[in-house]
Amino acid sequence: MRAGQYPLEEKPLLIFYEITKACPLACRHCRANAILRPLPTELSTKEAMKLLDDITGFGKPYPVLILTGGDPLMRSDLMEIIDYAKSLGIPVSLSPAVSSKLLSEDTLRELRGRVSSVSISLDGARPETHNYIRKTALEPIDVFRATLEAFSKLRAFGIEFQVNTTVMKLNVHELPQIFKIVRDSGANAWEVFFLIRVGRGMELEPLDPWETEDVVQFLYDASLYGLPIRTVEAPFFRRVVMQRSSGAAYVGGGLYRELINELRRLMGEPPSNAKKPSFTPTRDGYGIIFVASDGSIYPSGFLPLTLGNVRRDNIVRVYREHPLLKAIREARFNGKCGVCEFRTVCGGSRARAFTELGDPLGSDPACIYEPRVNNA
């Protein structure tokens, strides 16, 4: 979907609701610092349903509600909440953790027909990498193997799914192999998250700016093989799409050449009639909003600036009227992001600007691009 097809100024495309922090995994890059048991501060069933009622105030078509965590499967009233959302006409997607006990065939049987899609994470092409990143907090399981089995089960039940990958120095060299696994899995999309150092992610090392540019350029090449690719906290991928689609070449650094050579070895040359990727120009707080388990409203899960709380604030009013969200929507950024000719389609990662610079409207320190036109 391109800009103009959805009124992002009036309503988000995606609402992420962290339905619980409880999770059987203890992933090293976890934004939520998930824990083993639910917190007493979580929204009750009644409060969750009030949130759903409030969401209808955005008007149809309603935003997609993505139930995340933690692991939403650890919430005992999950199906009740999904059914209520469905009765209101709100589309629901689910982002469960992979564990042998919770994401079972019985669970998938219940989810079939209830959710529009499921997202599953794969952070390594090798068991050693994926299992290291997505370590278990309960009994040890081979999470890598369980993840591949989850792909097969989702396919068998006819449930659409996307695969999420968080990229960092630890796994960046495995991206071509991960892409092949994702494409072969039957996934509908690959969503690549660029590490933001929040929560447990403080333990891990993100890519440097030139590596980041090499990776988003690689993702453009990978998208030519027919699998839709989206990025999280790397909106400059859209700048790359516009540049490359208009014929601009990219020579790149050593990492790009390594990744693209391995991609060609695994996949061959892309089809000559490959479709150019498209995008929706969302960013933290623009087209996206996040509700934490205690009801706190944030621009996104990676930007921990409280905008209100659904227990007392109407989410529609917060999205439309909060001064920070207005500034983000209007691309009123500081530094080079504020004068960049791509600021309305990119806008940089507001989460990274806040984490690294302390300014949610600051320039994204991961972007190497220097604006060519001064629009100040």
Q: Using 50, 70 and 90 to split pLDDT, how confident is the model at 1?
A: very low
Give per-residue burial for 272-305: e unless 16+ CB within 10 Å, then b: eeeeebebbbbbbbbbbbbbbbbbbbbbbbbbbb
Does the structure show a pLDDT above 70 at 342? yes
* pLDDT tens-digit map of 38-48: 899 999 999 99
pLDDT (average), residues 189-197: 95
Say what the pTM is.
Answer: 0.94
Does the structure show a pLDDT above 70 at 200? no
Q: Quick check: 42 and 66 in contact, CB under 8 A?
A: no
Q: Percent of the chain at pLDDT above 90?
A: 83
* pLDDT tens-digit map of 49-105: 999 999 999 999 999 999 999 899 999 999 999 999 999 999 999 999 997 588 999
Alpha-carbon span 69 to 175, nearest angstrom:
25
Q: Using 50, 70 and 90 to split pLDDT, how confident is the model at 34?
A: low
pLDDT (average), residues 179-207: 89
Q: Quick check: 49 and 85 in contact, CB under 8 A?
A: no
- Residue given tokens 């939403």 in the structure block: 72
**What's the pLDDT at 376?**
44
